[in-house]
Structure 1
């Protein structure tokens, strides 16, 4: 059976966006998904060397790091133009990784490109884009620390001469095990509100006092040997130069919000691709499987549920694109919140339906649906739990918060990506 996205919907993406997405789709179908199928069938992990070979092939096809400016080795697509490509890579557990569009690397690249100094861009951004080094974003904290309410941030950085002294306890730090550096969100001024007294500090992994404690076990599994993990990390009197401040001192919340707005939408597109592939597999199965005298595709209850799923996915894609257009003009905080919350639930429901349609084959791991099912559940928690986004939308709907507070509020659970192979 062939499982490919078949969509006649016209979203009026630019010709450039459609052309690149078409080439990404071909790369997924010809290279990435066949290797994924083989790995699922044999249980053998996809090696780091194989991923690097895929990077070389992606570079040959001008698909590598589509979201990064050309001067740093990417394809230089603007935000709206890259979204259709992100949907295509979402069809595979290793799709984003195969073209260097995976999180948290993608978000960290964007952050350094937006606000990093020229020195930071040369030392960290350029090799990060090329895959020579890896990174992590460290915000979420255990126990009484920052999570859905990042104002509870406990980690600190105190100036001592020309250095920061960083102390903190982080967890759910995506790719934290293999990171060469961390973008750590810490309080740098305890005398002001966290929105004004928080900074992002670049902390090298090999700095004295950086202690990676463990990889946190979690729902979802892997098919590569990549050991990025979701780490628990402690910073114990870690000294780094003041020049390692990313952006302006005290500007951490604003920078993180800029990072998250686009990141949430790229996640939405990846997961919509995952849901669409699951649905395609389910439809192919329903067309072949017979029960009680007819093909399953002829059962009205199943047909109606598939129709509902297609409708919901179309609505999600439309909503994401609208939010992306608004993001070019403003922070689009409410549009992004609506897109993230809606898409997270739609993709969860769609993949659950696909698994149900395939029955025993759905829960088996010869097909990717069971893997998708494990991975997609986290999307309703990471990058802002459903409840956090609903809170933001409700406050906007009831007009019970002024514009200044809306602009300054940063409500998200974490910027880790428990998604496919971004772990």
Structure 2
């Protein structure tokens, strides 16, 4: 597998780096102190990115985008996530929205590309995370409408969303094979954002959602009834590859900072870079980061060609655990300074912790990888 980056993409990534340095870095201290930016700031940065040509990067050219593949998108994510704000360029629909009908595309897909609407997707429930068969939010058909009741939790980006990509059970007896995907406008009666959920991470406040006799027209069913599992599986595979790429940026920035500090900081008359304990931390971090990078790049290229479900599991599993170890070592190299909000390493460390849980826990990933290799059935 050839990981050579085309010169045109290298040049594009230089532009992404310049954008990060010019637009994001001056706001880093404010972000570290407050733990986030307000929505106005994020939207202004998105607009600046659009003006600079960073918009709808992975959208097909025939739909008004730049047609970048997942490998290119992972390189972009790696660069942007060297900043702790988890900032991404706009205009890219969630993968599920590519399944919209022509009529749905007019209301949901194209408005996202045009920057007129934003989405959030809602899988997780109080009793259903990776086990999709345990979804209890129900959708019952009533004529040309579906009546939705239930709760969702840990749902990201609800504060900035105009509509939801919602998964609900339409055939409870069929488990995960009886789930349907719905497009739900945020102002639909019966849908309520119950509360924000405070977390230990920066730039991530998920929400709890409630649906009480929420009526959604049948025309808002995405794909086929009872076929939502395949949509969710594809969405999650895409997300795992992208999450794995995030870890590369966070780990690389942390390691770069730690190396420079080790050269400057002296103890007993010598830079700590001369101490074997520090050298081993740096060496181990470099080796693990390089190994993760190869896994992520392979997963992205495989995704572009054939889906790469197992490769996505492996990349996210290894990259998230790698980044946790690397940021921990780098924080240790800085000592007390690393624990302060003067540096982004502590923010990276806390953010990475959620990525070892979201989109499937590390334990579930190990189970899924082993199950695939052993040829075990889904109920094993």
Query: Contact 2:190–2:212 at 8 Å: present in 1 too?
Result: yes
Name 1:203's counterpart in structure 2. 184
Q: Which deviations, in whole Å up to 9, do the C-alpha atoms of 1:292-313 show, x marking residues without a partner?
A: 2210111112112211111111
Name 1:79's counterpart in structure 2. 70
Is 162-171 or 124-133 further displaced after alignment? 124-133
Aligned-residue offset at 1:217? 1.3
Distance 1:84 1:358 in 2: 28
Name 2:335's counterpart in structure 1. 359
Name 2:323's counterpart in structure 1. 347
* 2:278 is the counterpart of 1:293: no
Is 352-361 or 325-334 further displaced after alignment? 325-334
Query: Contact 1:18–1:84 at 8 Å: present in 2 too?
Result: no
Query: Contact 2:50–2:90 at 8 Å: present in 1 too?
Result: no
Distance 1:141 1:39 in 2: 30
Distance 1:328 1:52 in 2: 29
Q: Which has the higher contact order (CA 8 A, sep 6+)?
A: 1
The correspondence of residues 3-402 of structure 1 with structure 2, limited to 5 A, is: 11-40=3-32, 43=34, 46-70=37-61, 72-94=63-85, 96-97=87-88, 99-100=89-90, 109-112=94-97, 114-142=98-126, 145-191=127-173, 193-222=174-203, 229-401=205-377
Distance 1:361 1:100 in 2: 34
Q: Which deviations, in whole Å up to 9, do the C-alpha atoms of 1:205-250 show, x marking residues without a partner?
A: 111111211111111124xxxxx83111111111111010111222
Name 1:418's counterpart in structure 2. none
Q: Which deviations, in whole Å up to 9, do the C-alpha atoms of 1:248-306 show, x marking residues without a partner?
A: 22211101111111211111111210111011111111111001221011111211221
Distance 2:289 2:352 in 1: 15
Distance 2:27 2:307 in 1: 39
SS at match of 1:284: helix
The alignment covers a number of residue pairs equal to 379
SS at match of 2:87: helix
SS at match of 2:68: coil
Structure holding more helix per residue: 2
Query: Contact 1:73–1:126 at 8 Å: present in 2 too?
Result: no
TM-score scaled by length of structure 1: 0.84
Q: Which deviations, in whole Å up to 9, do the C-alpha atoms of 1:106-158 show, x marking residues without a partner?
A: 5x53221x20112222212233234433321111111xx31121111111111
SS at match of 1:366: coil
Task: Return 5+ residue gaps in structure 2 as ranges.
Answer: none
TM-score scaled by length of structure 2: 0.93
Distance 2:316 2:264 in 1: 34
Q: Which deviations, in whole Å up to 9, do the C-alpha atoms of 1:59-105 show, x marking residues without a partner?
A: 222112322234555432122222211100111123533x228xxxx
Query: Contact 1:176–1:229 at 8 Å: present in 2 too?
Result: no
